[in-house]
Structure 1
Amino acid sequence: MEHRIHIREISARDWPRLAALEHAAYAHLLLAEGEELLRSRAASSPATCFALDADGRLAGYALALPYPHLDCPDPTRPEHAVHGATTNLHLHDLVISAPLRRRGLGTRLARHVTDAAAALG
């Protein structure tokens, strides 16, 4: 089945579904951060965080943050710092809804993040 795919900025209405996708992907690993922490990460770099829609419904997301080389966000604390002076982009999360995995959507979303990062320098 072919889906209509669109990658866009994350909107306020996405957060409950985005947090549910994150929980489904990471809870079994005890790595789920929850909506508040995810929002703080996206707020630190909205130009490099994206939602993926399939047929008008949120089906995936990517959170990528400028971060110093070999450093990453503390998964237990909200993101407060903006690391704009670095040329390193930390791919914090990339999640595709389970029924849509193995269809190239993760690659497509990763390419979109890479293209956005290149455009930002």
Structure 2
Amino acid sequence: MPGRHQQSRSHTGALVVGGTAGALLRYGMTTAWPLPRHVFMTTTVTAAVAFMVAGFLVSVGVTTALRAAVFGMCASAASLSAWAVLTISQPPKLSIAFLIGTPAAAVAGLLCGLLAARVVAR
């Protein structure tokens, strides 16, 4: 059992490190491209890519600390709480684009990740 406990601790630490990296990534993108249309594009693309990678990792099984860190980064970078704040804080047309576009990109990314995992498994 001691080896199993150690692995769990390292995965938790990796998840925290990855989550921190993802939050810093989102902050950097928002700072680099602060205009509303840029924020919409970075939010949508980030959600699609992060959900694709996370979907792939979940379907193949997160077994290493590196995978846990990447999963944490994806989860943090694609923060849907940020999406909710952005949806209500924009002009009406952009708000509707955030409301529909970001979840659609996330679902599309997730499906692509699951499909990629299925292809790799063959």
Give the alignment's TM-score, normalised by structure 1: 0.32
Identify, as 1 or 2, the structure richer in strand.
1
In terms of fraction of residues, the more helix-rich structure is 2
Where relative contact order (Cα < 8 A, 6+ residues apart) is larger, the structure is 2
Greater C-alpha Rg: 2
